[in-house]
Amino acid sequence: MFRILFYTPEIPGNTGNAIRLAAVTGAELHLVEPLGFDFEDSKLKRAGLDYHDLAHVTVHATLDAALTALAPARLFAFTAEGETPYTDISYEPGDVLMFGPESVGLPEDVKQDPRVTDRVKLPMVPGRRSMNLANTASIALFEAWRQHGFAGSGPRG
C-alpha cells in the first residue's frame, strides 16, 4: 500500500491523527527524528485513540535512513511551492508521500533532494501559507487510495 513520511513532525496531535489515518487505510507511517514530542504525550495518544496498535509506524533517525529503508520507491514531496497538483499524479502502491514539519514545511535541501520524484501541491486560496499537516496527508493519501479502488477496504455499502 502507500507510505506516509513525516519529516521531523512537531505537533503530537497531527502525528496522532496520522497514526489513526494509517490504521484505517492500511498505509505505513514513517517518522523522521527529531520529533517534537515523545510517544507518551497525552495529545498524541488522544488523537490516535486506540489505533496505535493497529498502525504500522516506524521512526527513523535520519531522512537518509528512512529513504534507504523505503527504497526503491517513488518519493513525492508535498509543499505549498510544488509544481504538480496532487490530482495529476498517477499513484502506485509503495509510493512515499512526504510532508514537512508544521511550522516551516520541508526545507529547501529536502525538496531539492535528487531522490524526490516530484514536488506536489494541494490547491489553496491565494495568500494562504499552508494547510494542516494531518489534513493534507489525509487528502493526498485518500486520492492515491481512490485511484486504486480503495484496495483492501472490504465491501463497500
CA pair distance 46, 43, nearest whole angstrom: 5
CA pair distance 12, 28, nearest whole angstrom: 17
Beta pairing class for 84-85 and 96-99: unpaired
130 annotated as a binding-site residue: yes
100 annotated as a binding-site residue: yes
Sheet holding 84-85, edge to edge: 56-60, 28-32, 3-7, 96-99, 75-78, 118-121, 84-85
Q: Which residues are annotated as a binding site for S-adenosyl-L-methionine?
A: 100, 122, 130
Q: Which residues are annotated as a binding site?
A: 100, 122, 130
